[in-house]
């Protein structure tokens, strides 16, 4: 589904990515792990078009998407969440869902005008499946941080996509919300969605991931089943500091 081939990226004299390569298989949840500074979020930014790579190639379903604009990459089928939630605080839950539904965020006004023509029950049931028990008219500014995280994930899934990139979906949330996010992702795992997750919570990774890719210093140092990869001595040394 997604092929990352020999990606390099430097910031001044610092190498963030140093020949990073891997393939993401379709219909699996893959966890991308590694210590802080390993290059994980930089790679997500390059895949989604927020940063340009210095060299290398990225392919989605056989089509090269290297260094395309973010909107072009999104329309090609890459949907993404961020570690820090990015939503419009003065817009409502429904406003965000309408923008995501059409996969055309730039046509904001056209999507909002549709408000009187849509099936609100459908959207209410949809957000409830993510554990969001709020009215559709609720503004983002009135949601807790955890509820914003849930909404951010619901929006990403609602967008037309071939692969979903989740950047630390349970970071900064309490145990109750973590369980809700875990429940939602397990449901999508059963539905054979293609998901790539950056995550530091190893129990979360063990429960969800079909496969684990470990990065350190901008390179892939291990790749395989969670129960095997997480026991490797060089992974423990790089990631866990053991």
**What's the pTM value of the predicted model, to 2 decimals?**
0.82
Q: Domain check: are 120 and 198 in the same one?
A: no
Q: What is the pLDDT of residues 108-167, one digit of tens each?
A: 445 555 555 677 888 898 888 888 888 999 998 998 888 888 888 888 888 878 898 998
Determine, yes or no, domain membership for 26. yes
**Least confident interval from 36-45, 96-105, 221-230:** 96-105
Domain containing 130: what range?
87-159
The CB density around residue 197, as the number of other CB atoms within 10 Å, is 23
Indicate the number of domains in the chain.
2
Cα–Cα distance measured from residue 20 to residue 32, given in angstroms and rounded to the nearest whole number: 12
**Final residue in a domain of this structure, among 144, 159, 174:** 159
Structure tokens at 165: 């990139």
Determine, yes or no, domain membership for 82. no
The CATH number that applies at residue 58 is 3.40.50.300
Cα–Cα distance measured from residue 224 to residue 235, given in angstroms and rounded to the nearest whole number: 12
DSSP assignment letter at 239? I
pLDDT-based confidence at residue 240 (cuts at 50, 70, 90): low
**Final residue in a domain of this structure, among 123, 143, 159:** 159
pLDDT-based confidence at residue 242 (cuts at 50, 70, 90): very low
Q: Domain check: are 61 and 167 in the same one?
A: yes
CA 6 to the chain's CA centroid: 21
**Final residue in a domain of this structure, among 159, 191, 210:** 159
Q: Domain check: are 170 and 106 in the same one?
A: no
Q: What is the mean pLDDT of residues 219-224?
A: 91
User: What mean pLDDT is reported for the chain?
Assistant: 85
Q: What is the mean pLDDT of residues 69-83?
A: 87
Q: Domain check: are 165 and 73 in the same one?
A: yes
Determine, yes or no, domain membership for 213. yes
């Amino acid at each position: 589904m997604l092929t990352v081939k020999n990606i390099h990226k430097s910031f001044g004299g610092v190498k963030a990515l140093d020949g990073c390569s891997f393939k993401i298989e379709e219909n699996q949840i893959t966890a991308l792990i590694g210590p802080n500074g390993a290059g994980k979020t930089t790679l997500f930014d390059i895949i989604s078009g927020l940063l340009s790579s210095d060299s290398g190639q990225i392919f989605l379903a056989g089509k090269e998407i290297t260094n395309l604009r973010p909107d072009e990459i999104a329309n090609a089928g890459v949907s993404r969440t961020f570690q820090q939630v990015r939503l419009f605080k003065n817009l409502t839950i429904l406003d965000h869902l309408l923008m995501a539904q059409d996969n055309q965020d730039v046509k904001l006004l056209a999507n909002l005008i549709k408000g009187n023509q849509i099936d609100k029950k459908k959207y209410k049931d949809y957000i409830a499946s993510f554990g969001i028990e709020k009215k559709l008219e609720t503004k983002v500014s009135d949601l807790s941080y955890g509820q914003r995280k849930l909404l951010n994930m619901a929006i990403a899934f609602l967008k037309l996509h071939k692969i979903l990139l989740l950047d630390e979906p349970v970071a900064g949330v309490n145990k109750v919300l973590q369980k809700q996010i875990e429940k939602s992702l397990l449901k999508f795992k059963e539905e054979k969605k293609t998901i790539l997750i950056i995550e530091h919570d190893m129990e979360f990774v063990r429960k969800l991931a079909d496969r684990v890719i470990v990065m350190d210093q901008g390179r892939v140092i291990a790749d395989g089943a969670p129960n095997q990869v997480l026991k490797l001595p060089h992974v423990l040394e790089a990631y866990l500091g053991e």
